[in-house]
Amino acid sequence: MTTTRDAAAPPVAHREPATRTHHGDTVTDDYAWLAARDRPETRAYLEAENAHTEAATAHLAPLAETLFQEIKDRTRETDLSVPTRIGAWWYYSRTEEGRQYGIHCRRVVRAGEADPPATDGGPLDGEEVLLDGNALAAGHEFFALGTYDVSPDGRRLAYSTDHVGNERFTLRVKDLDTGEMLPDEIPDAAYGSAWSADGGTLFYLTVDAQWRPYRVWRHEIGTTQDRDVLVHEESDERFWAGVSLTRSHEYVLIDLHSKLTSEVLAVPAHAPAAPPVVVAPRRHGVEYTVEHHGDRFLLLHNDGAEDFALAATPAAAPGPWTTLLPHTPGVRLEAVDAFHDHLVVSLRAEGLTGLRVLPAGADDGWDITFPEPLYSVHLSGNPEYRTDSVRLSYASLTTPQSVYDYRLADRELVLRKRTPVLGDFDPAAYTQHREWAVADDGTRVPISLVCRRDTPRDGSAPAVLYGYGSYEASMDPWFSIPRLSLLDRGVVWAVAHVRGGGEMGRHWYTEGKLLAKKNTFTDFVACARHLTSSGWTSAARLVARGGSAGGLLMGAVANLAPAEFAGILAQVPFVDPLTSMLDPTLPLTVTEWEEWGNPLDDPEVYAYMRSYSPYENVAAQRYPAILAMSGLNDTRVLYTEPTKWIARLRATAPGGDYLLKTEMGAGHGGPSGRYDAWREEAFMSAWTLSRLGLA
């Protein structure tokens, strides 16, 4: 049988190393030449790596094909989302068997039709196709939809497309009355847009040389781009801009934020040419978001409130804040959604998400309750301001994604759809658990697990431990059809809720960033050791997995505790953070200094990052098998990071199984088509099973 040790790795062409000196420290980078993306030698090297990986994993191809078919067979390929009412229309998207991308549609609301129309997965009678992703993707290796924004009157659609994977979009406008494309076309737009109340004006964003959204423009429909008006330009390179229309259709909000500070500007949606008004001037370290509700703006903020509080200020003349929901330590308020007669606050407490309803004018609200001990819930698809129900999305590690309408009058949850899992899937065959590891400093770190009920607890079961741990992003329990293929082969799937994420409140995030970043890594190792010491698995049968900033986590634990893992799967891994954070010309670097620190100016930050950077700290030790996945067009984590990392591992710690697979026509999110994404997941799962002894 062919193994990764039998296939020779591609040679690294000899190039002059690059050296850099910062704060008295001189570093030699033997692989800096790989950053020359357009040089033929670089592309040849990446293609040679891909050929090496293909040869080294050829024996896994039948298993990968089996896993792909299992994903496909469990998925209802022709399906329809729950229709969402906006004005006189039901809006929805659907998929068709054999086609890669979604189809976006609408259908007129019929007389007496209060509930969303039911369907068996096929198109609704009388539907109007607004946008067909398959048609837009024709002839392109990659396709992604950025903006999809219907005007308030339902007459126009603004949408943007990316055919490369670099997240630069071309923005277009479609006349939904005639079906014709309007001549309005704006290249190099960023995510996000907002319509004026009458649908005659469109606000959009463009990026700077570092691909930071920093300019907000006003475009009159039917005019050329050279007549567009610059509404705001953000000169502080730590900040980036966003734009949105409030649910009430009364204001266009321009959101300016860094990792630590916020400022929101408001433009009346009925007077789009009016100058923006500052809702609250930026103050360093104060974050807030804004919702419009009646005659007031609602502000969710952290001013003297680590886990955030809810306040209000007059919309006509923003000024002092009046507290509506005071700060409660340990209850992290994450968002507020305003409707005419009520508010819904999204929160988390004790590691679980929740929703609290606050009726307008009432002093007390209530929390919506759910039956499972582990789950995740959030609002989903609520565009209507005047409504007597709210839609939410619910899932757990054993319950497929479920869409509910929550009727406010009787406090009843009405299930509209549960994602079907075809075949012999029985949720009762699986069980989920919450465990707690103890970190080096005594902190208790939660772990969520799912496995088959018949999984042994004697250390013999194989396991996957997933982690992220950055940006206050919480890895709340989620359901996965591809994961079933692992569970049914006896694998335990676990999620380590390490510091740097937001699962346990704001402090959980701050204790895993900047000069406390190493807590993220030691927390993950503590979780791995807990799984082995408590009988869930053994180090010889445990694979670690993470992507992007979670890929940094993978590289760090590979250096820190290589003996704890049989394999490490790192997707688009941020494994050369020091090099990236030293270069302010790269995308995201300046805006990320408040997350990681500024090693360019601060010697303490430089030394700290130098001490944990995976690329900088590859050592002559035995590593577990490593598979790194990358995208050539990735602008968030450049392809050079995993490429250089694998090259240094081979040179410094020879004899290991180190593989690199680069998608040559994709970006940070990998392949764009659903079948292509399933094949990539099947490939990674096959490699994982091989490291677990199940191939």
CB 205 within 8 A of CB 191: yes
> What are residue 359's DSSP bridge partners?
342
Work out the pLDDT band at 363, boundaries 50, 70, 90: low
634 is catalytic: yes
Residue in 219, 249, 292, 668 annotated catalytic: 668
Q: Is 222 left (phi over 0), alpha (psi -120 to 50) or beta?
A: left
CB 444 within 8 A of CB 521: no
CA 11 to chain centre: 35
**Secondary-structure class of domain 287-420 per CATH:** mainly beta
CB 42 within 8 A of CB 74: no
pLDDT confidence of residue 664: 93
**pLDDT tens sequence across 478-514:** 999 999 999 999 999 999 999 999 999 999 999 999 9
668 is catalytic: yes
CATH number of 140-286, picked from 3.30.930.10, 3.60.130.10, 2.130.10.120, 3.40.630.190: 2.130.10.120
Residue in 548, 580, 613, 672 annotated catalytic: 548
Average pLDDT over residues 117-135: 93
Are 140-286 and 287-420 the same fold in CATH?
yes
Average pLDDT over residues 560-577: 98
454 is catalytic: no
Average pLDDT over residues 75-91: 96
CA distances from 249 to 455, 525, 615 (A): 52, 48, 49
Average pLDDT over residues 283-287: 98
For the ranges 16-20, 359-363, 412-416, the one whose mean pLDDT is highest: 412-416
Place of tokens 């040419």: 273
Question: What CA–CA distance (Å, rounded) separates 553 from 574?
Answer: 8
Lowest mean pLDDT among 360-364, 374-378, 499-503: 360-364
User: Residue length, the chain?
Assistant: 695
Which among 537, 545, 559, 524 is positioned nearest to 482, based on CA atoms?
545
- In 407-496, alpha helices (H): 481-487
Sign of CA dihedral 24, 636, 245, 333: negative
CB-based contacts of 55: which residues, under 8 Å, 6+ apart? 2, 7
pLDDT confidence of residue 12: 60
State the Cα torsion 536-539-543-547 to the nearest 10°: 100
pLDDT at 5 over 50: no
48: burial class by Cβ within 10 Å (0-12, 13-18, 19+)?
middle
pLDDT at 66 over 70: yes
Amino acid at the residue 650: R
Q: Which of residues 120 and 368 earns the better pLDDT score?
A: 368
Q: Where are the beta strands (DSSP E) in 548-609?
A: 567-571
Lowest mean pLDDT among 118-122, 475-479, 485-489, 516-520: 118-122
**Token representation of residue 280:** 């609250």
pLDDT confidence of residue 4: 40
CA 669 to chain centre: 9
Average pLDDT over residues 561-572: 98
pLDDT confidence of residue 122: 86
Question: What CA–CA distance (Å, rounded) separates 633 from 459?
Answer: 41
**pLDDT tens sequence across 592-631:** 999 999 999 999 999 999 999 999 999 999 999 999 999 9
Which among 637, 332, 320, 617 is positioned nearest to 473, based on CA atoms?
332
pLDDT confidence of residue 3: 38
pLDDT at 14 over 80: no
Map out the domains of the chain as residue ranges: 18-73+423-691, 140-286, 287-420
CB-based contacts of 330: which residues, under 8 Å, 6+ apart? 307, 349, 350, 505
**Token representation of residue 622:** 């035995």
**pLDDT tens sequence across 637-676:** 999 999 999 999 999 998 899 999 999 999 999 999 999 9
Work out the pLDDT band at 119, boundaries 50, 70, 90: confident
Burial code of 363-375, b = ≥16 C-beta within 10 A, e = fewer? eeeeebebeeebb
Question: What CA–CA distance (Å, rounded) separates 512 from 345?
Answer: 26
Helix (H) or strand (E) holding 73: helix 61-74
**Token representation of residue 139:** 């002839």
Which among 62, 92, 99, 106 is positioned nearest to 78, based on CA atoms?
99
- DSSP per-residue codes, 96-108: -TT-SS-EEEEEE
pLDDT at 107 over 60: yes
User: What's domain 18-73+423-691's architecture?
Assistant: 3-Layer(aba) Sandwich (3.40)
CA distances from 260 to 256, 285, 287, 320, 496 (A): 11, 5, 6, 21, 25
203: burial class by Cβ within 10 Å (0-12, 13-18, 19+)?
buried
Residue in 149, 184, 634, 657 annotated catalytic: 634
- In 179-329, alpha helices (H): none
Predicted model pTM: 0.95
CB 636 within 8 A of CB 587: yes
Q: What is the average pLDDT value for the chain, to the nearest integer?
A: 95
pLDDT confidence of residue 11: 62
**pLDDT tens sequence across 201-259:** 999 999 999 999 999 999 999 999 999 999 999 999 999 999 999 999 999 999 999 99
Q: Is 51 left (phi over 0), alpha (psi -120 to 50) or beta?
A: alpha
Q: Which of residues 12 and 160 earns the better pLDDT score?
A: 160
CA distances from 658 to 48, 252, 310, 634 (A): 14, 50, 49, 21
